Structure 1
C-alpha cells in the first residue's frame, strides 16, 4: 500500500500469502491467516495463551506486557516478538518479490533460532542452552 501512495504501479495489492485482503501493516503482521498461525505457534512455545482479540502489533505488544513474569522473562518474550516480526517480514518479501513460500514450521524454527542467538549474544542470559531454549526454560539453564 505504501508504494501505491508513492505512485509506484503494482500489479495488485492483495496479500501475496493469502490473497484474501489488501496488504497493510496490521494484515501483514497479525491479521493474515499465515501470520496468525505463526503467532499461535510462537505463543504456544512460550506457554502463553494466544490472544483472541488482537488486530495489530501494538495489540500483541500490549498483550505481552500484561502477562505475568519477571523482567528477564518479559525481555525474552519481547525479543521473541521482535524476531517474529522480522521473520514475518522476511517471508512476506520472499513471497512477494521472488514467489518463494516459506512454510509456517520453517518460519517458527527460524524465529526460535534468531531469538536464541540474539539473547545468547546480547543479554545477561548468555549461559542459556539450546535444549532449555526450545522448552522456553531459559531460567533453569543458568
Structure 2
C-alpha cells in the first residue's frame, strides 16, 4: 500500500539576481522578512529579466510548496541588463512581473524590491 508523502510547505519564493555583491544584504534581509528556513530561493542572472523563467519557478513553488508570497528583487548596476539596466527599466520590469503573476495567481501576495548597492531595499509598487 503506497504511503502518503508528508506535506511540505513554505511561505515564500524569493527571486533575485545571482550577483555575488548582493549576498551580504540578501541573506539577512530574507531571513528577517520570512523567517529562517521558510522560503524557497531562486537566483537568476537579471532577477526578473527573464520573466518566463521566473514564472516557471513561481508555478513550481505554488504546486510543490504551497507558497503564499512571491518576493521579486532586482538591483542597481545589474550586469545582466547591460546598458538597459536603468532604474526606470528595473522598476518597469518589476511592476510588470508583479502584475502578471497577480493575474495568474490572484491568491498570491507579490512583493517587488529594488536593491541599492548600499544595502537599501526599496519597495516597488
TM-score w.r.t. the length of structure 2 is 0.35
Between Structure 1 and Structure 2, the one with more helix by share is 1
Larger radius of gyration: 1
TM-score w.r.t. the length of structure 1 is 0.32
